[in-house]
Amino acid sequence: MAYRHGERHQQMLFPQRIEDYISQEDPVRVYDAFVDALEWATLGIDYDPRKVGCPQFCPKTMLKILIYGYSYGVRSSRKLERALYHNVSFMWLAGGLKPDHKTISEFRRHHQEALKKVIKQCARLCLKLDVIAGNVLFVDGSKFRANAGIDKTRTLKGCEEALAKLDERIDQLFRQCEQVDQAEEAQGSLVKLQEDLTQTQQLKAKVQSTLAILKAEGLDRMNTTDPQCVRVHGRQGAHAGYNSQIVVDEQHGLIVHSDVVNENNDLQQFAHQIEQAHETLDSPCKTAVADAGYSNADELEKIDRQGIKVIVPNSRQASDKVPGPFDKSHFEYISQEDCYICPAGQRLTYLGYDRKKKADIYSAGRKTCLACQHFGLCTKAKTYGRMILRYRNHAVRVKLAEQYEEASSQVVFSRRKERAELPFGHIKRNLGMGSFLLRGLTGVRAEMAIACSCFNLARLIGLLGVSGLLKKLTPL
- The per-residue DSSP string of 432-446 comes to --SB-SS-SHHHHHH
DSSP state of 17: S
Contact call for residues 47 and 40 (beta carbons, < 8 A): yes
Beta bridge partners of 354: 359
Handedness of CA 418, 420, 423, 427 (dihedral sign): negative
- Position 53 scores a pLDDT of 67
Beta bridge partners of 388: 362
What is the per-residue DSSP string for 195-251?
HHHHHHHHHHHHHHHHHHHHHHHT-SEEESSSTT-EEEEETTEEEEEEEEEEEEETT
If you average pLDDT over residues 393-415, what whole number do you get? 94
| Three-state DSSP class for residue 139 | strand
Asked whether residue 80 carries a pLDDT value surpassing 70, the answer given is yes
- Position 153 scores a pLDDT of 81
Residue with the bigger pLDDT between 11 and 44: it is: 44
The dihedral formed by the CA atoms of 161, 162, 168 and 173, expressed in degrees to the nearest 10: 180
Residue with the bigger pLDDT between 315 and 16: it is: 315
Asked whether residue 166 carries a pLDDT value surpassing 70, the answer given is no
Chain centre distance of CA 208: 30
Contact call for residues 170 and 200 (beta carbons, < 8 A): yes
Handedness of CA 217, 223, 225, 231 (dihedral sign): negative
Asked whether residue 429 carries a pLDDT value surpassing 70, the answer given is yes
Asked whether residue 447 carries a pLDDT value surpassing 90, the answer given is yes
| Three-state DSSP class for residue 194 | helix
End-to-end CA distance of the chain: 55
| Three-state DSSP class for residue 71 | helix
Chain centre distance of CA 42: 24
If you average pLDDT over residues 148-167, what whole number do you get? 75
Q: What is the pLDDT of residues 464-476, one digit of tens each?
A: 999 999 999 887 6
Asked whether residue 219 carries a pLDDT value surpassing 60, the answer given is yes
471: region left, alpha or beta (phi > 0 left; psi from -120 to 50 alpha): alpha
| Cα gap 196→49, rounded to integer Å | 55
At residue 116 the predicted structure's pLDDT band, cuts being 50, 70 and 90, is: very high
The dihedral formed by the CA atoms of 259, 260, 263 and 264, expressed in degrees to the nearest 10: 100
Among the ranges given (116-125, 217-226, 307-316), the one the predictor scored with the smallest mean pLDDT: 217-226
At residue 3 the predicted structure's pLDDT band, cuts being 50, 70 and 90, is: confident
If you average pLDDT over residues 359-373, what whole number do you get? 92
Radius of gyration for the chain, computed over Cα atoms and rounded to the nearest angstrom = 30
Residue with the bigger pLDDT between 183 and 327: it is: 327
- Position 210 scores a pLDDT of 67
Residue with the bigger pLDDT between 214 and 269: it is: 269
Residue with the bigger pLDDT between 234 and 311: it is: 311
Burial code of 445-469, b = ≥16 C-beta within 10 A, e = fewer?
Answer: bbbbbbbbbbbbbbbbbeebebeeb
- Position 36 scores a pLDDT of 93
Percent of the chain with pLDDT over 70: 89
H helical segments located in 313-440: 315-318, 366-371, 394-405, 407-413, 416, 422-425
What is the per-residue DSSP string for 347-371?
EEEEEEEETTTTEEEEE--HHHHHH
Asked whether residue 152 carries a pLDDT value surpassing 90, the answer given is no
Asked whether residue 171 carries a pLDDT value surpassing 70, the answer given is no
- Position 173 scores a pLDDT of 65
Contact call for residues 289 and 277 (beta carbons, < 8 A): no
Q: What is the pLDDT of residues 249-305, one digit of tens each?
A: 999 999 999 999 999 899 999 999 999 999 999 999 999 999 999 999 999 999 999
0.85 exceeded by the pTM? Answer: yes
If you average pLDDT over residues 133-148, what whole number do you get? 95
Average pLDDT in the chain: 88
**Other beta carbons less than 10 A from residue 333's beta carbon:** 14
